[in-house]
Amino acid sequence: MAQIFINANRSAGSINKNIYGHFAEHLGRCIYGGLANADGSPRADVIAALKDLGVPVLRWPGGCFADTYHWQDGIGPKAQRKTIVNTNWGGVTEDNAFGTHEFLEVCRQIGCEPYISGNVGSGTVQEFSDWVEYCNMPGVSPMADLRRQNGQQEPFNVRYWGIGNESWGCGGEMRPEYYADLCRQYSVFLRDYSPQAKLYKIACGPSEGNYHWTRTVAERAGHRIDALALHYYTMNDHQDWEHKGSATDFDRKELYTVLRKALFMDELVENHGRVLRQFSPNKKLGLVVDEWGTWFDVEPGTNPGFLYQQNTMRDALVAALTLNIFNNHCDTVVMANIAQVVNVLQAMVLTEGDKMLLTPTYHVFKMYKAHQDARQLETYAETRLLDHEAEGVPDVQVSASQQADGQILLTAAHLDDAASLPVTVRLGGLKAAAVQGVVLAGAPGAHNTFAAPETVAPRALNATLTADGFTAVLPPCSVAAFTVTPA
Ligand code: AHR
C-alpha cells in the first residue's frame, strides 16, 4: 500500500498549456505521409486525431532541418518551388510542397499556436526578419504584399519564434559566447508588427547538462529573449549511435535504465531553472524544453535517416514521468515539445499508407489533457525504490492540478512491472464528492500495430471514495488518471 497526498492549499502556479506541445520536422515521414499528403495539403485523419488531443502549440520546420531551411523556397505556386536535398535526414529530395502557408493551415485546423524555428546557422538576419514581416505585418510592406500575392490577406500573427536550433551542434557548432552575440543581433531585427503578434523569442539553449551554455546565453543575451530551449532525449546506455537498442524488444535492465534516465529531466529542469533565475530574478526567462522524448533504433528495414520507431508502454511511462515533472516545475517550464508528432521518434501517431494508429504516448497526452492551464497542486507520494539491477527508480511518481471548475486531476506513473500497487490518496484542503479513474496498462513492450491498433488503450479504473480521499489499485506498469469532483 502506498500513500499519495494532494495539498489543495499549495501550488507552484499555473501549468502552461504549452507544456503539452509538439514538434514537427521535415524528417522521414513526419510531414509528407504524416501531417500532410504528398502535395502538402493537411492529412485529415491525422489532423483530426491531433485536434482531439488538444495540441496547444506545434514547432516547425526543425530541428536540424531549420538551420538549412530557406523559407522563400516554400511559398508561392507549388510548381515553381525549389526542389532541395534534405542533407540532415537521409539525403532525400524535398520539393517544398509543405511550406509556411501549409504549416499555418495545419495549425489552424488543429487549433494550435505555431512556433517557428528560424535559420541562424546558414541563413541571414535579413531572411529571418523578412519571415516575421511576411507572417505578421498587417499593413503595406514588401513582405506583407508578397503574402497577399500568395493568397493570405490577413497576417498569420505568429508569436513564437526560435532563434536557431542546436547552435552548439547541427545548427553551426558555435561557442555559447558567439551564439549569444548572434542571438542578440537576430533578436534586434525580429520586430513586433502588431499588438496581436507580440513576439515571444526563444533562444537556443543547452544540450542536457551544459550549464555553461545556459549561463553564458542567459547572462549575455537574456535581456533580449523570453526563454531558452533545452534539449534532452531519453536513451539506453549504448556504446555507439548505431546500437541504441530496440524500441519494442528490450529486457528489464533496459526498461529501468530508460526510466531512470527519463527521471533525470527533473534534475535538468531544476538546475537550468536555477541558473536562469540568477539572470532574471523575477522568473521572466522561461525554460522551453522544445525537444524531448525517447530515441531508440529505427524499426528494422526502415531508412535509418527517417528515425521511425515503434512506441510501447515503456514510452507511455516516459511520457507520464516527464509530464509530471513539467507540471511540478510549472514555475520554470513554460513550454515543451515532444519529438516528434507523427512517424518520428516518440510519436503520437503512426501511419502506413492510408492507415493510422494512436500510440500509447498519444493516450498519455490525452489522459493528461485537463492539466493544461490548470493550477498545479503540491503532491507527495510515499514511494519504495525499485532496485532492479541497481537502477533505483521510485515505484510511483505523480502530479496533480485543479481546473477552473474545481475538478482535480491526479496523474500517476506506476513503474513496477511485476506487481500491482494499492494506493490510498488523501486530499488536504478539500473533500471529494466523486472520483473517476482511467488507466493505460500493459507489458512494458506492449504496443499498437496496424493489425491490432487497440492493444494498448485506456480503460476505466475503479476508485473508491474514503473519508478523506479515495483508494485504487494501480496495475503493474501503468499510467493512471483520476478526476476528483470536490463536494
Ligand atoms: O528530433 C531529431 C533531431 O534531434 C533534431 O533535428 C535535432 O534538433 C536533434 O538533435
Let me know: does 42 contact 345? Beta carbons within 8 Å.
no
User: For residues 339, 343, 348 and 352, what is the CA-based torsion angle, rounded to 10 degrees?
Assistant: 180
Q: Would you report the helix, strand and coil content of the chain in percent, each value rounded to 5?
A: 30, 30, 40
- Of all protein residues, whose CA lies closest to atom 4 belonging to ligand 1? 63
Local confidence pLDDT in tens for the 487 residues of the chain: 899 999 999 999 999 999 999 999 999 999 999 999 999 999 999 999 999 999 999 999 999 999 999 999 999 999 999 999 999 999 999 999 999 999 999 999 999 999 999 999 999 999 999 999 999 999 999 999 999 999 999 999 999 999 999 999 999 999 999 999 999 999 999 999 999 999 999 999 999 999 999 999 999 999 999 999 999 999 998 778 888 999 999 999 899 999 999 999 999 999 999 999 999 877 689 999 999 999 999 999 999 999 999 999 999 999 999 999 999 999 999 999 999 999 999 999 999 999 999 999 999 999 999 999 999 999 999 999 987 666 689 999 999 999 999 999 999 999 999 999 999 999 998 899 999 999 999 999 999 999 999 999 999 999 999 999 999 999 999 999 999 999 9
CATH superfamily, domain at 15-373:
Glycosidases (3.20.20.80)
Let me know: does 140 contact 33? Beta carbons within 8 Å.
no
pLDDT at 429 (0 to 100): 84
Q: To test ligand 1's pocket by mutation, which of 58, 69, 166 has the most ligand atoms within 8 angstroms of CB?
A: 166
| Ligand 1 center to 50 CA (angstroms) | 21
Across the strands, what pairs with 165?
Answer: none
How many CB atoms sit inside 10 A of residue 320's CB? 30
Ligand 1 atom with minimal separation from the 291 CA: 1
Q: To test ligand 1's pocket by mutation, which of 291, 307, 341 has the most ligand atoms within 8 angstroms of CB?
A: 291
Pocket of ligand 1 (CB under 6 A): 25, 62-64, 165-166, 291, 339-340, 345
Q: To test ligand 1's pocket by mutation, which of 88, 163, 170 has the most ligand atoms within 8 angstroms of CB?
A: 170
User: Would 15-373 and 377-486 be classified into the same CATH topology?
Assistant: no
Indicate the fold that domain 377-486 takes in CATH: Immunoglobulin-like (2.60.40)
pLDDT at 389 (0 to 100): 65
CA 373 to chain CA mean position, Å = 16
pLDDT at 1 (0 to 100): 87
Return the C-alpha cell found at 285.
Answer: 526567462
Residue 291 appears among annotated catalytic residues: yes
Let me know: does 59 contact 118? Beta carbons within 8 Å.
no
Distance CA 71, CA 96 (A): 9
- Distances in Å between the Cα of 303 and the Cα atoms of 28, 90, 91, 170 are 8, 7, 11, 20
Ligand 1 atom with minimal separation from the 25 CA: 6
Ligand 1 atom with minimal separation from the 66 CA: 6
- Of all protein residues, whose CA lies closest to atom 9 belonging to ligand 1? 63
| Ligand 1 center to 64 CA (angstroms) | 6
Let me know: does 291 contact 339? Beta carbons within 8 Å.
yes
pLDDT at 14 (0 to 100): 98
DSSP string, 278-346: HH-TTS-SEEEEEEEEE--PPPTTS-GGG-----BHHHHHHHHHHHHHHHHTTTTEEEEEEE-SBSSSS
| Ligand 1 center to 166 CA (angstroms) | 8
| Ligand 1 center to 63 CA (angstroms) | 5
Distance CA 374, CA 359 (A): 25
| Ligand 1 center to 234 CA (angstroms) | 13
Return the C-alpha cell found at 289.
Answer: 524544453
- Strands 57-60 and 21-23, sheet pairing: parallel
DSSP run (H or E) holding 436: strand 432-441
Residue 382 appears among annotated catalytic residues: no
Which one from 133, 166, 254, 391 is the annotated catalytic residue? 166
Q: What is the DSSP letter of 419?
A: S
3-state secondary structure of 432: strand
- Strands 396-402 and 393-394, sheet pairing: unpaired
Ligand 1 atom with minimal separation from the 64 CA: 6
In the chain, where the domains are located: 15-373, 377-486
| Ligand 1 center to 411 CA (angstroms) | 29
Return the closest-CA partner of residue 290 out of 120, 121, 161, 149: 161
